[in-house]
Amino acid sequence: MDIRRVTLALAAAGLLALPSLAAAQSQSPTSSSGNQMPQASGPGPGQATEKGCPAGTVPNPQASAPPTNPPSPPPPPCIAAPAATQPKQKQPGDDAPVQQQDTVHPKNQNEDVDAIGQRNPGKGVNFYSIEREMALGKQLAQQVEQSSKLIDDPVVVEYVNRVGQNLVRNSDARVPFTIKVIDSDEVNAFALPGGFFYVNSGLILRAQEEDELAGVMAHEISHVVARHGTKEATKGEIMQLASIPLILLGPGGWAGYGIYQGLNLAMPLSFLKFSRDAERQADFLGLQYMYKAGYDPNAYITFFERIQADEKRRPGTIPKIFSTHPPTPERIENAQKEIARILPARDQYIVTTSEFDSVKARLRNVMFAKKAQDNGPGKPTLRTRTEQTDKQKTQTQTGDPNATSSDDDRPTLKRRPDDQ
C-alpha cells in the first residue's frame, strides 16, 4: 500500500475523532485519570477565596472527593470549624513557661543562686539588731494570736510548717522561723519581723498546686530575710528624730513631744506595709528561694495572674495581701525577665504532690466541721427586733415563758365576734 495513502487515512480518522472527544470532555467533569477538574466559578458570599477559608471555617475534605454516580451537587469548599479549633479566651497559665538558659552568668553575688546562704540581702540602715528584731516579732506575734483563731489540726500544721522550713533552709535567713496556720477564708499570708510566719487557710485552699503555695510563702519569707519591717520602722524613726527639734521649738515644748509620742502607738502596723522597692526585692529573692528548693518559679507568676483575673471578673474581691502590694503587670514582667536571666534551666521541678491534695481535702473538712459546730443548736443567735417583740407577745398571751410562735413575722387572721 502506498505510504501516502496510509498517512492521509490516519489523518482523516483523527480529524473525525477530535469533535467527539471535545464533546465528551465538555460533558464529563473528570479527566481520564478520574480526578475532578477545577471549575471556573467565582466565590459566592461567605465562600472561600483563593487565599483560604473565612475565619471560623476550615477547608472541606469532601470538596476534592470523586463525584458520585448519578452526579450530585458539588460540596461547599469550606465548612464550620470544629469546637476544638475555635479561638478560646486566654486563661492564666496558658502562656508557655519562661524559656530559661542552660548556663547563666550572674552579675553579682545577689544574682547567684549557688551563693544562697552566704549572702546578706538584709544589710542597710537599721536601728534594730537581730536580737531586738526577734523580740519585737515575738511581741507582735502574741497580739496576732490573741485576735486570731489558729488551725490546730496536727497534719495540716505539720505539712505547712515542713513546706515553709524547706524554703527557709534554701534562703538567706538568719533567724529561725515559727510557722502557724490561721483559720481564715481570706487569701493571705504574712511574716512578722524575727521569723514569725502566719499562713491563712484560705491561701492553702485557693492554691491549685503546691508550688503556688510555696511561691507566696517564699515571697513572705523574703521580707523577713531582707529585714523590710525593721528597715521601714527605721525610716519612720529617722523622720521622727528629724521632726523633734521643730516640735520642741513649738508652743508645747516637751509636752508637745509627749503628745506626739502617744500618737505613734499604732506604729507596729507599718511592719506589714512595704515600699515598691521592697516588694520588687521580695519578688526577686522569692523566685530564687523557691527555685533553690526545687519548685517551678513560673508558678509564682501563674498564681498572681489568676488573682488579677479574679479581680477583673469580680472587682473588689482582691485579697488584702495584694491590695497593699498588688501584682502589677510591671512586677510580673520583671519576674519573667529574672527567671530567664538568672535561673538556669532544670529538667525537673516540683509542681505538686499527692500530700498537698490530701492536706487540702483534710483542711476543707476541718473548716466545714468547725462552721457546723459554730452554727449548731445551743449556740447564741442574732434576732431582729420584730422577732423579739412577737416572742414576748406570745409569752404574755399564753403565760408560758418557753412558748414560741411558729411564724413570728407573718400576719395572723382573727375571726370577728358576731354582733348579738
Q: What is the pLDDT of residue 242?
A: 59
Is the torsion defined by CA of 280, 281, 283, 284 positive or negative?
A: positive
Q: What is the pLDDT of residue 42?
A: 45
Taking a C-beta distance cutoff of 8 angstroms, is the pair 182, 198 a contact?
yes
Q: What is the pLDDT of residue 313?
A: 80
| Bridge partners for 58 per DSSP | 79
Tell me the CA distances in angstroms from 65 to 39, 57, 68, 239, 335, one per residue in order. Answer: 14, 19, 9, 83, 53
* Phi (first) and psi of residue 328, to 5 degrees: -70, 155
Taking a C-beta distance cutoff of 8 angstroms, is the pair 279, 327 a contact?
no
The three-state DSSP-derived secondary structure of the chain is CCHHHHHHHHHHHHHHHHHHHHHHHHHCCECCCCCECCCCCCCCCCCCECCECCCCEEECHHHHCCCCCCCCCCCCCEEECCHHHCCCCCCCCCCCCCCCCCCCCCCCHHHCHHHCCCCCCCCCCCCCCHHHHHHHHHHHHHHHHHCCCECCCHHHHHHHHHHHHHHHHCCCCCCCCEEEEECCCCCCEEEECCCEEEEEHHHHHHCCCHHHHHHHHHHHHHHHHCCHHHHHHHHHHHHHHHHHHHHHCCCCCHHHHHHHHHCCCCHHHHHHCCCHHHHHHHHHHHHHHHHHCCECCHHHHHHHHHHHHHHHHCCCCCCHHHHHCCCCHHHHHHHHHHHHHHCCCCCCCECCCHHHHHHHHHHHHHHHHHHHHHCCCCCCCCCCHHHHHHHHHHHHHHCCCCCCCCCCCCCCCCCCCCCC
Among candidates 278, 297, 300, 306, which has minimal Cα distance to 340? 297
Q: What is the pLDDT of residue 41?
A: 45
Q: What is the pLDDT of residue 56?
A: 62
CA–CA separation, 173 vs 120, rounded Å? Answer: 9
Taking a C-beta distance cutoff of 8 angstroms, is the pair 226, 278 a contact?
yes
Q: What is the pLDDT of residue 304?
A: 81
CA–CA separation, 198 vs 224, rounded Å? Answer: 12
Taking a C-beta distance cutoff of 8 angstroms, is the pair 228, 325 a contact?
no
pLDDT in tens, the chain (420 residues): 455 554 444 444 444 443 443 444 444 444 444 444 444 444 444 444 444 676 666 677 666 666 666 666 676 777 666 555 444 455 555 555 777 766 777 788 889 999 999 999 999 889 899 999 999 999 999 999 998 899 999 999 999 999 999 999 999 999 999 999 999 988 888 999 999 999 999 999 999 999 999 999 999 999 999 999 889 888 877 776 655 444 445 444 444 434 434 433 333 445 556 788 888 899 999 999 999 999 999 998 888 888 777 777 877 666 555 555 556 688 888 889 999 999 998 889 999 999 999 999 999 999 888 877 766 666 665 555 555 555 555 555 555 555 444 445 556 666 777 655
Q: What is the pLDDT of residue 17?
A: 42
* Phi (first) and psi of residue 191, to 5 degrees: -125, 125
Q: What is the pLDDT of residue 253?
A: 47
CA–CA separation, 287 vs 342, rounded Å? Answer: 10
Does pTM surpass 0.95? no
Length of the chain: 420
Provide the residue ranges of all domains of the chain, joining segments of one domain with +: 109-373
